[in-house]
Amino acid sequence: MKTQHMAVIFIIIILPISLILSEYVQNQVETIKLQISYDTKLSNATYDAIRAFQLNTVNSSTSDLTNSKLRDLEASINTFYNSISSNFNLAGYNRDQLRDYVPALVYTLYDGYYIYTPFHNHLADDPKTNDESKFIDDATYKEDNERIEGLRPYVYYSCRYKKGSTLDVVITYALDNYVTIQGTAADGRNVNIAGYVLDNVELIGGNIRYRNISIPNSEVLTEYIGNQLYEYIKINGVKYYKDTDGSYFTLLNGKKIVENGATFNENDSAKRYYLEALELKQKIMDYRLDVLTPDDAVDTDSTGNIVSISSILGGGADNYFLNTGKIFDYNNDIEEPDSNFNSHRLSVIRYSIEKNLSIAIANYNYYNDSSSTDFQMPTLKEDEWDKLLNNVSMISFMQGLNIGGKIYNGYAIVNNNKNEEVVTENSIYITTDDGIYHSVREKNLNNVLNTETTVNGVFNVDFERKSVYDDEGVTNYYYPKRQLASYDSIITQSGIDNYTNIYDYLQGKDKLAQIYYTALARERYSTYKVFRLGTTFKDSFK
Quote the CA–CA distance of 122 and 116 in Å, as a whole number: 18
Residue 539 confidence (pLDDT)? 43
| pLDDT tens, N- to C-terminus, the chain (542 residues) | 566 656 666 566 666 666 566 555 555 556 677 778 888 889 999 999 999 888 887 776 555 566 778 888 999 999 999 998 887 776 567 777 778 888 889 999 999 999 998 766 654 444 444 444 444 444 444 555 566 778 888 999 999 999 988 999 999 999 999 999 999 999 999 999 999 999 999 998 889 999 999 999 888 899 999 889 999 989 888 889 988 888 888 888 778 888 776 666 678 899 999 999 999 999 999 999 999 999 999 998 878 888 888 888 876 667 787 767 899 999 888 988 889 999 999 999 999 999 998 888 887 777 665 556 677 778 888 888 888 888 899 999 988 877 776 778 889 999 888 888 899 999 999 999 889 999 999 988 888 887 667 788 999 999 988 888 877 778 888 999 999 999 999 999 888 888 778 998 999 899 999 999 999 999 999 988 876 543 343 344 33
Residue 137 confidence (pLDDT)? 44
Residue 141 confidence (pLDDT)? 46
Q: How far is CA 181 from the centre of its chain?
A: 20
Residue 367 confidence (pLDDT)? 66
Residue 99 confidence (pLDDT)? 80
446 Ramachandran zone, left/alpha/beta (phi>0; psi -120 to 50): alpha
Residue 266 confidence (pLDDT)? 72
Q: Domain residues of the chain, as ranges?
A: 3-110+112-156+337-415, 220-265+423-526
Residue 382 confidence (pLDDT)? 86
Q: Please list the residues that pair with 201 across neighbouring strands.
A: 210
The neighbour count for residue 447, using CB atoms within 10 Å, is: 11
Strands in 286-421 per DSSP E: 297-300, 306-308, 393-402, 407-415
Q: How far is CA 299 from the centre of its chain?
A: 24
- What residues have CB less than 8 Å from 105, skipping those under 6 apart? 49, 77, 80, 115, 116, 117, 394, 395, 396, 397
Give pLDDT tens digits for 485-510. Answer: 999 999 998 888 887 789 989 998 99
Quote the CA–CA distance of 108 and 174 in Å, as a whole number: 10
Residue 533 confidence (pLDDT)? 40
Residue 345 confidence (pLDDT)? 93
Residue 368 confidence (pLDDT)? 65
The residue type found at 184 is T
Q: Please list the residues that pair with 115 across neighbouring strands.
A: 106
